């Protein structure tokens, strides 16, 4: 933030300074003309040097504005800070007038200037306030732009995480093994083979459709998971049992798509598949106090060899979850006594 | 007649192999196994000519099964994972079938099997050990009674050489395995297991302390009180790690 705030280009600052000087000069010349004290030439000649001083002060007031940001500094400290600074700036401006006007009067015999310094002081304060107002306006615009950049950056991050997750979504060996099961059933159980082919196609179509969405209901995600498990059921037979319990409130919650599917795939691949006798995958989702809680339980052989893949799957899920929830969600994975458990907590 | 044992943890996969084999008059299925334990038992019992072996299976994977065999049938791996292909040939598997299986490819492989059957084959067992993924994550042992033990290396206390075999000490018991100590020492994670002596490899986590017991000779005392000799070069290796 600070870097971009001070990174306002030199050209912009120069422009701002010139504008401030012109404003101050115009205002004070007008002041003389209005008071019929002087010719236009004399008025401008008198106004220019003090205006240069005030222009420099106006430019410098940017530092004070930076130090007293509208959003975070207290109202009183902003008021006191700028009141003091305005008095000092205007005092300096009047001082310049006071030393410059007698010198000018001495040079030019035909006209004599006798400005009302208290009025000039008031004008100085007004000009200072205008300068500060412009600074705050610019800072505010910069902050807005910064916030937009932030949102954009965050979106890109979320997209990337999504893409990574999507790539890791479905293990190609799941497809190879399932196709082998289809091939196997073609001979003896052609109707079942046809059904399995259909299920596979539906599953992949659903993955593509849901994956393209920003958010889906948990009910939709659970439907996907059930389709996946139904296919695995054909391969694993009695070794795989599943138990899914989702309460009504939880089913209606919005979740990032394909959040659960890779975790359930892990539960099959590294969990049930690692057990000779197989086991049960237990999925529970509840909504309590605006907190969606999803728990996936499965048995896993503590001595299984390939533990790398599952770690990546969980890391991906965690990354995506924090990207979509801005860090408010939590994913925990723990293993104890042959049971593997993943817990997700996502504020509604 | 080629006598075949089919090993796959998925029923549909076994059914497909069964169907392909049924079309071949020269083949006879003597056993179907759903896991590695059954496979080791079936090979010991039936002494088949051909083992059609899946790789990813619970508890014992295909490579571990090979390590435990005391006979050497022709081995053809059947798997969806082509990343294992190279290792499969290194363990002298005859061939390698990818899922989903192609019948044409299956028939070609069976022709090769028939040509190879009857010839003397390089024994598969033993060789498999040296080609398992490194570092070793678990050790498989077959007891005198045929029972198979799978020991994760984290549960290993130490290994001692006994002639051309080793004894694996794990939670108070010792398991004997026919394998030179140098072979297993080279496969264990060098950051966790140290060869402290010609005849001993120890799990670093088990060491309580090292004591000097005579000039230039030391002894490692394990948490359970076991005392193991430490040679001079073994002590050097220990010092580098600790």
Q: Where are the domains of chain A?
A: 2-154, 170-347
What are the structural domain ranges in chain B? 2-128, 136-241
Chain B residues with CB under 8 Å of A189 CB are: none
N residues, chain A:
348
B13/A275 touch (CB, cutoff 8 Å), yes or no: no
Nearest to B101 among A183, A234, A301 (CB): A183
N residues, chain B:
242
Residue scoring higher pLDDT (B31 or B125): B31
Residue scoring higher pLDDT (A52 or B132): A52
Q: Kindly state the helix (H) or strand (E) to which residue B239 belongs, with its residue range.
A: helix B232-241
Please state the separation of Cα A246 from the chain's center in Å: 32
* CA nearest to B151, candidates B66, B64, B88: B64
**Predicted confidence band of residue A143 (pLDDT cuts 50, 70, 90):** confident
B9/A273 touch (CB, cutoff 8 Å), yes or no: yes
CATH number belonging to domain B136-241: 2.40.50.1020
Query: Mean pLDDT across the stretch A278-304?
Result: 94
- Range name among A207-211, A216-220, B27-31, B111-115 with the lowest pLDDT average: A207-211
Distance CA A248, CA B212 (A): 69
Q: Exposed, middle or buried by CB within 10 Å (0-12, 13-18, 19+), for A327? A: exposed
pLDDT single digits (tens) B145-193: 778 888 889 889 999 998 889 999 998 889 999 888 988 888 899 889 9
* CA nearest to A132, candidates A32, A75, A63: A63
Residue scoring higher pLDDT (B48 or A38): B48
Two tokens, residue B232: 């001079």
Give the ipTM. Answer: 0.79
Distance from CA of A221 to the nearest CA of B (A): 27
Whether A272 has a pLDDT exceeding 70, the answer reads yes
Chain A residue with minimum CA distance to B82: A173
A222, HSE (Cβ side, Cα atoms, 13 Å): 23
Query: Mean pLDDT across the stretch B111-135?
Result: 66
Question: For a pLDDT cut of 90, what percent of chain B falls above it?
Answer: 52
**Predicted confidence band of residue A5 (pLDDT cuts 50, 70, 90):** very low
Query: Mean pLDDT across the stretch B223-240?
Result: 90
Structure confidence at residue A162 (pLDDT): 63
Chain A residues with CB under 8 Å of B13 CB are: 177, 180-181, 184, 235
Whether A197 has a pLDDT exceeding 50, the answer reads yes
Q: Are A258 and A224 in contact (CB under 8 A)?
A: yes
Distance CA B197, CA B199 (A): 5
pLDDT single digits (tens) A10-43: 777 777 777 877 777 777 777 666 666 677 777 7
Q: Are A285 and A245 in contact (CB under 8 A)?
A: yes
Structure confidence at residue A6 (pLDDT): 46
* CA nearest to A278, candidates B79, B128, B46, B57: B57
Query: Mean pLDDT across the stretch A212-224?
Result: 92
- Range name among A118-132, A157-171, A238-252, A329-343 with the lowest pLDDT average: A157-171
A110 touches chain B (CB under 8 A): no
Supply the pTM of this predicted model: 0.67
Whether A211 has a pLDDT exceeding 60, the answer reads yes
Cα dist from A36 to A32, A33, A39, A284, whole Å: 6, 5, 8, 87
A177 touches chain B (CB under 8 A): yes
Residue scoring higher pLDDT (A303 or A233): A233
Query: Mean pLDDT across the stretch A47-63?
Result: 85
Distance CA B133, CA B155 (A): 19
Structure confidence at residue A1 (pLDDT): 38
Phi, psi of A284 (to 5 degrees): -130, 135
Cα dist from A13 to A8, A58, A59, A69, A261, whole Å: 7, 11, 7, 19, 55
Residue scoring higher pLDDT (A157 or A8): A157
Q: Helices in chain A by DSSP H: which ranges?
A: 2-6, 10-34, 40-67, 75-107, 117-169, 172-188, 190-211, 218-236, 248-251, 261-266, 308-325
Q: What value, to the nearest 5°, has the Cα angle with vertex A330 and ends A327 and A336?
A: 155
A170-347: CATH class: alpha beta
Whether A209 has a pLDDT exceeding 90, the answer reads no
A275 touches chain B (CB under 8 A): yes
B98/A176 touch (CB, cutoff 8 Å), yes or no: yes
B2-128: CATH class: alpha beta
Query: Mean pLDDT across the stretch A294-323?
Result: 81
Structure confidence at residue A297 (pLDDT): 96
């Amino acid at each position: 933030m600070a870097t971009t705030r001070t990174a306002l280009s030199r050209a912009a600052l120069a422009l701002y300074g010139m504008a401030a000087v012109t404003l101050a000069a115009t205002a004070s010349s007008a002041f003389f003309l209005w008071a019929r004290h002087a010719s236009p030439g004399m008025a401008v000649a008198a106004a220019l040097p003090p205006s240069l001083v005030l222009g420099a002060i106006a430019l410098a007031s940017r530092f004070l504005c930076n130090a007293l940001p509208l959003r975070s500094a207290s109202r009183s400290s902003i008021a006191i800070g700028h009141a003091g600074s305005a008095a000092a700036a205007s005092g300096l401006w009047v001082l310049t007038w006071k030393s410059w006007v007698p010198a000018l009067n001495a040079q030019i015999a035909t006209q004599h200037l006798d400005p009302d310094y208290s009025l000039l002081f008031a004008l100085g304060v007004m000009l200072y306030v205008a300068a500060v107002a412009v600074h705050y306006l610019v800072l505010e615009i910069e902050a807005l732009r910064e916030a937009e950049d932030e949102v954009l950056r965050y979106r890109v991050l979320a997209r990337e995480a999504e893409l990574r997750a999507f790539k890791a979504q479905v293990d190609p060996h799941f497809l190879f093994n399932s196709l082998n099961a289809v091939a196997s059933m073609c001979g003896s159980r052609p109707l079942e083979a046809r059904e399995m082919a259909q299920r596979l196609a539906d599953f992949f179509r659903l993955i593509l459709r849901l994956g393209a969405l920003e958010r889906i209901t948990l009910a939709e995600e659970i439907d996907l998971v059930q389709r996946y498990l139904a296919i695995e059921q054909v391969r694993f037979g009695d070794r795989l049992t599943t138990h899914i319990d989702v309460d009504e409130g939880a089913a209606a919650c919005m979740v990032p798509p394909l959040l659960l599917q890779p975790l359930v795939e892990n539960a099959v691949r590294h969990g049930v598949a690692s057990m000779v006798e197989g086991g049960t995958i237990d999925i529970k989702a509840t909504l309590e106090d605006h907190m969606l809680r999803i728990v996936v339980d499965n048995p896993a052989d503590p001595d299984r060899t390939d533990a790398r893949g599952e770690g990546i799957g969980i890391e991906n899920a965690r990354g995506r979850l924090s990207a979509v929830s801005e860090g408010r969600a939590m994913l925990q994975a723990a293993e104890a006594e042959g049971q593997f458990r993943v817990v997700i907590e996502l504020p509604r | 007649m080629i006598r075949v044992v089919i090993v796959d943890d998925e029923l549909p996969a076994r059914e497909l192999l069964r169907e392909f084999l049924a079309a071949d008059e020269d083949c006879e299925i003597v056993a179907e196994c759903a896991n590695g334990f059954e496979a080791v038992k079936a090979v010991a019992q039936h002494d088949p000519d051909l083992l059609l072996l899946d790789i990813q299976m619970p508890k014992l994977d295909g490579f571990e099964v090979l390590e435990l065999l005391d006979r050497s049938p022709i081995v053809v791996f059947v798997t969806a994972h082509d990343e294992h292909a190279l290792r499969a040939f290194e363990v002298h598997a005859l061939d390698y079938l990818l899922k989903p299986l192609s019948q044409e490819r299956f028939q070609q492989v069976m022709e090769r099997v028939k040509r190879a059957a009857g010839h003397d084959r390089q024994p598969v067992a033993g060789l498999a050990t040296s080609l398992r993924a490194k570092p070793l994550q678990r050790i498989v042992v077959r007891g005198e009674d045929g029972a198979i033990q799978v020991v994760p290396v984290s549960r290993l206390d130490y290994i001692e050489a006994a002639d051309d075999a080793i004894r694996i000490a794990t939670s108070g018991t010792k398991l004997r395995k026919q394998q030179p100590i140098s072979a297993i020492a080279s496969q264990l994670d060098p950051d966790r297991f140290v060869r402290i002596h010609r005849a001993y490899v120890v799990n670093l986590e088990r060491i309580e302390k090292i004591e000097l017991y005579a000039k230039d000779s030391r002894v490692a005392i394990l948490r359970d009180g076991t005392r193991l000799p430490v040679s001079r070069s073994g002590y050097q290796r220990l010092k580098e790690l600790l």
